[in-house]
Structure 1
């Protein structure tokens, strides 16, 4: 029976390619599914042979640990150079998007709290 090995939703193309390459290099029998037009399915990589499950999960865990370490080091280097992403840098790069996002958050908060603010009048 097939086993869900790796979900592809919210994964960058680079990471998905690296995972595909890793699984292919290690010789795991996998296939992919797409969520489809209405997003009712699952974007994922599935393992066909359940007997390979432990080895495949161990390989993915090793890969994810190495990727986490690599990304952490890249972030620390960017922070040391003063290039790490911050809210201020995002605002300078996309001021309209940041302002509209803040307005939307405030509007949702106001609409959520409005019924409770009206209880004081009773």
Structure 2
């Protein structure tokens, strides 16, 4: 019976490419099913019928290490993004944008407030 290694629902394309490359580089025999057109099936990466338990354990260990490393990288990128936030780099521009949004919101709501009188 085939073994599902990874669901592909909501998996970014770059992560999928990295997982494919990892499994191919490590010589893991796998196949992929694509998500269905109507979203019933999310697709997945599978080990074939003839994969033994040792191969499954090795593939799962590879994926666990990859996902831990990817998680660490994404946390670092997110932290770097917070430090390099455009709000912090250009506070006056950010304040001007916020003020512009408030003015537009006020202009849109004034007619409704006047109609209620």
TM-score range, shorter chain: 0.5 to 0.7
SS in 2 for 1:58: helix
What runs of 5+ residues in structure 1 fail to find an aligned partner? 96-122
Structure showing greater radius of gyration is 2
Report the counterpart of residue 55 of structure 1 in structure 2.
58
Tell me the TM-score normalised to structure 1 length: 0.64
Count of residues paired in the alignment: 88
What runs of 5+ residues in structure 2 fail to find an aligned partner? 88-93, 102-117
Root-mean-square deviation (Å): 2.3
> Relative to 1, partners in 2 of residues 1:30 and 1:75: Cα closer, same or farther, differing over 3 Å?
same
Tell me the distance in 2 between the aligned counterparts of 1:79 and 1:72: 11
Question: Which aligned pairs between 1:54-93 and structure 2 lie closer than 5 A?
Answer: 54-83=57-86
Report the counterpart of residue 45 of structure 1 in structure 2.
45
Tell me the distance in 2 between the aligned counterparts of 1:41 and 1:73: 32
SS in 2 for 1:37: coil
Tell me the TM-score normalised to structure 2 length: 0.66
Q: Aligned-pair distance for 1:2?
A: 1.0
Q: Aligned-pair distance for 1:72?
A: 0.5
Tell me the distance in 1 between the aligned counterparts of 2:79 and 2:42: 34
> Relative to 1, partners in 2 of residues 1:83 and 1:18: Cα closer, same or farther, differing over 3 Å?
farther
Hey, which bits of structure 1, 4+ residues long, moved more than 6 A?
none
